């Protein structure tokens, strides 16, 4: 082992807004915060999702090699329909893509993520 995973860092224009979205989606807490960077996770000593402020975000498009997704998060759910209703309420956008076992959305900053049936 070379090192330990610390965080998945996601560029965004509004770290507070995106942190709130992922906190509610994944049931996490804020473990580090300043004006430019917020980390959320299970605890301060565990891997986190970090939201980092950038002045100009070039939003990915799904699927498009000219505007690649850059990263995405898979979220396991027991019921796709009820999970979809909840993420849309939080500010996600459906990309009307997927199958009967997963669906693709974007978070409020335009990053793709998938709801995946357990």
Identify the helix (H) or strand (E) that includes residue 65: none
Burial class (CB in 10 A: 0-12, 13-18, 19+), 14: middle
Confirm if 41 and 29 have CB atoms less than 8 A apart.
yes
- 88/86 Cα distance (integer angstroms): 5
Q: How confident is the model at residue 37 (pLDDT cuts 50, 70, 90)?
A: very high
Average pLDDT for the chain: 90
Per-residue model confidence as pLDDT tens digits over 52-68: 999 988 888 878 888 77
Q: What is the mean pLDDT of residues 80-90?
A: 95
Confirm if 67 and 106 have CB atoms less than 8 A apart.
no
pTM for the full predicted model? 0.78
């Amino acid at each position: 082992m070379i090192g330990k995973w610390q965080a998945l860092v996601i560029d965004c224009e509004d770290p507070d807004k995106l942190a709130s979205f992922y906190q509610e989606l994944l049931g996490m807490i804020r473990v580090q915060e300043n004006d430019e960077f917020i980390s959320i996770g299970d605890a301060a000593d565990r891997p986190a999702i970090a939201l980092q402020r950038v002045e100009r975000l070039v939003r990915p498009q799904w699927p498009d090699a000219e505007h690649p997704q850059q990263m995405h998060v898979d979220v396991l759910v027991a019921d796709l329909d009820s999970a979809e209703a909840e993420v849309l309420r939080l500010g996600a956008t459906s990309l009307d893509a997927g199958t009967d076992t997963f669906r693709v959305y974007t978070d409020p900053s335009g990053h793709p993520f998938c709801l995946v049936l357990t």
